[in-house]
Amino acid sequence: MRDTDLASNTGARGSAGRFTPLTRLRLQLSAWYVGTFAAILLALGGFLFLSIVRQTEADLTRSLRAAAHELEHAAETREREAIVTGGAAVDAVDELRIPDRSLYLLDTAGMPQHPWAAPAVIRAAAVQAARTGPMDRHVKVAGGPRLQLFAEPFTLPSGHRYVAVVAANRIELEDRYAAVIVLFSALALTGVLLVAIGGWLLARKAVRPVEKSVEQMRRFMADAAHELRTPIAVLRGRTEVALQRERDVTAYIATLQTVGLEAERMGGIVEDLLTLARADAGERPLRQETLFLDDIALDASGAMSALAAERGVTFGVERFEEAPVVGDPVLLRQLILIVLDNALKFTPAGGSVRLRVGREDSRATIAVEDTGIGIADDEIPRIFDRFYRGASAREQAGGVGLGLSIALWIADAHGATIDVTSPHDRGTTVTLVFPAPPMRG
């Protein structure tokens, strides 16, 4: 059902412009989809970002430690070459270059040895490392960038103690984090938009059965009210007329008889409605017994024989074979009675109704064939709808159009199929085919 159709049936918006309950339900489902997906993305994104930060920080620390060890090795090389060459060799510390890393060699008092100048934070880190051992630290240079540094004291073969300090500008990490955040945000936004679109489509699909059920319920209630209105009006009219003035006993008896007939009709409608309501709610338990369909059909045909004779219709059994099935005997009898009653109801006096019970490929079958008024081709798909009655059915007989709905429910509950054929001017044939019973071990 389209939104516009539903809106026209239920009043899409009230005077205050509010959404219909089903529209609100779709919006709420879509919001739940988007909210759930966004929460999952946020959790996964946060976990991923923290993992990236931790891994990146660990990689940076390892690279700073490796650079510090290279600086220490260069200092040892310089001292060894100075002893051998008397200081004439190239200074290994001066020659050491590591991209994107600042190298400092200081004594334990924080005095720079290479280069000959160092920021105060570098000197302070060297002093602390000389006292407490290797250390990692984030520092901020006054008027400059934030640095990640590693300081480690070491002792040369000559016994002199120095501190190697390696620093890296944290802008490298911040740029990498920013790139990850931008990329993830773009992907998350795209994902949320796609989920919003998909969630709305899924919500519409999920709500569609509800819309159909609401529409069926609305139509069901309207039809039920329409069918009950007539007998209620008759009851009220008869009682009001009877009470307008005094009447003789015969008139009162006739009125009570009419009231009784209408009450019986109302009771039948209510009973059928309760049957269908219990069926829809799954409150009617289905007994599973191994029984013979021919026995049930024989019992039902016996009850119909008198009715057929009363209406001047010839009723007979053409085929009667043993047909085992598994099911509920009460419901199966009701199913056969509904089909036979329909055949008799729409067959005029002088016509005939034939019953056949048999087996085809181990499946029990029942066929009821009549010479009645028939059913138009365009009406056959709708005859099992609740309260539906074709034009010819409304003219020919009473009823409210619930019998075949109950018959379809009983057949479906037993896994059976109902096939209806109605050639023009040749009556109607209703065929029930039941599944084969399980083989006994």
Q: Count other C-beta atoms under 10 Å from residue 118's C-beta.
A: 22
At residue 19, φ and ψ (nearest 5 deg) are -70, 150
Please, what is the average pLDDT of the chain? 78
Q: What is the DSSP letter of 284?
A: S
Q: What is the pLDDT of residue 17?
A: 46
What DSSP designation does 326 have?
A: E
% residues pLDDT > 70 (the chain)? 80
Least Cα distance to 22 among 218, 204, 202 occurs for 204
When pLDDT is averaged across residues 114-140 and rounded to a whole number, the result is: 86
Element spanning 438, H or E: none
Give CA separation, 64 vs 54, 58, 151, in Å.
Answer: 15, 10, 9
Q: What is the pLDDT of residue 138?
A: 78
Please write the tens of the pLDDT for every residue from 4-20.
343 444 444 443 445 67
Ramachandran angles phi, psi of 127, nearest 5°: -60, -45
The two three-digit tokens of residue 8, written as one number: 């026209």
- Predicted local distance difference test score (pLDDT) of residue 214: 72
Of 140-154, 164-178, 214-228, 398-412, which range is least confident? Answer: 214-228
Distance CA 175, CA 1 (A): 52
CATH class of segment(s) 289-433? alpha beta
Q: What is the pLDDT of residues 209-243, one digit of tens each?
A: 777 777 767 766 766 676 667 667 777 877 887 77
Q: Which residues is 367 bridged to in the sheet?
A: 356, 431
Cα 184 from Cα 45, distance rounded (Å): 7
Confidence of residue 120 (pLDDT cuts 50, 70, 90): confident
Second-level CATH architecture of 219-281: Orthogonal Bundle (1.10)
Tell me what pLDDT residue 7 has.
40
What pLDDT band is residue 90 in, cutting at 50, 70 and 90? very low
- Cα separation of 406 and 341, whole Å? 13
Write down the pLDDT at residue 89: 43
> Would you give the DSSP letter of residue 13?
S
352-362 average pLDDT score: 87
Higher pLDDT, 232 or 399: 232
Q: Looking at beta carbons, which pairs linking 432-435 to residues 24 or more positions away fall under 8 Å? A: 432/335, 432/339, 432/365, 432/366, 432/367, 433/360, 433/363, 433/364, 433/365, 434/293, 434/323, 434/325, 434/327, 434/363, 434/364, 434/365, 435/363
How large is the C-alpha radius of gyration of the chain? 46
Give the tens place of pLDDT for each residue, 327-343. 888 888 888 888 888 88
Predicted confidence (pLDDT) per residue in 166-192, tens digit: 888 877 667 777 777 788 788 878 887
- Pick the more confident residue, 245 or 118: 118
SS3 percent helix, strand, coil of the chain, rounded to 5, is 55, 15, 25
What 128-133 contacts at long range (C-beta under 8 Å, 24+ apart), as own/partner pairs, is 129/153, 129/163, 129/165, 130/161, 130/163
pLDDT of residue 153: 92
Q: Which long-range contacts does 7-11 make (Cβ < 8 Å, 24+ apart)?
A: 9/215, 9/218, 10/214, 10/218
Contact between residue 352 and residue 313 where contact means Cβ atoms under 8 Å apart? yes
CA distance linking residue 318 with residue 89, whole number of Å:
123
Q: Which residue in 322, 316, 410, 417 sits closest to 369, CA to CA? A: 316
Instruction: Of 405, 403, 266, 410, give the one whose Cα is nearest residue 346.
Output: 403
Tell me which DSSP letter residue 323 carries: -
pTM of the entire structure? Answer: 0.49
Q: Any idea where the domains of the chain sit in the sequence?
A: 219-281, 289-433
- DSSP letter for each residue of 371-400: -SS---TTTGGGTTSTT---HHHHHH----
Contacts of 149 (CB under 8 A, 6+ apart): 64, 121, 122, 125, 136, 137, 139, 165, 166, 167, 168
Residues in contact with 386: Cβ distance below 8 Å, sequence separation at least 6, in sequence order = 220, 223, 276, 401, 402, 405
Express each pLDDT in 241-256 by its tens digit: 777 877 788 877 887 8
Percent of the chain with pLDDT over 90: 2
- The model's pLDDT over 295-331, given as tens digits with 9 standing for 90+, comes to 888 888 877 888 888 888 888 888 888 888 888 888 8
Structure tokens at 355: 């019953």
pLDDT at position 226? 62
Residue 9: HSE in the Cβ half-sphere, 13 Å Cα cutoff: 17
The answer, yes or no, to whether residue 123 has pLDDT greater than 70, is: yes
Q: What is the DSSP string of 206-250?
A: HHHHHHHHHHHHHHHHHHHHHHHHHHHHHHHHHHHHHHHS---HH
Compute the CA torsion angle 114, 120, 124, 125 (nearest 10 deg).
Answer: -60
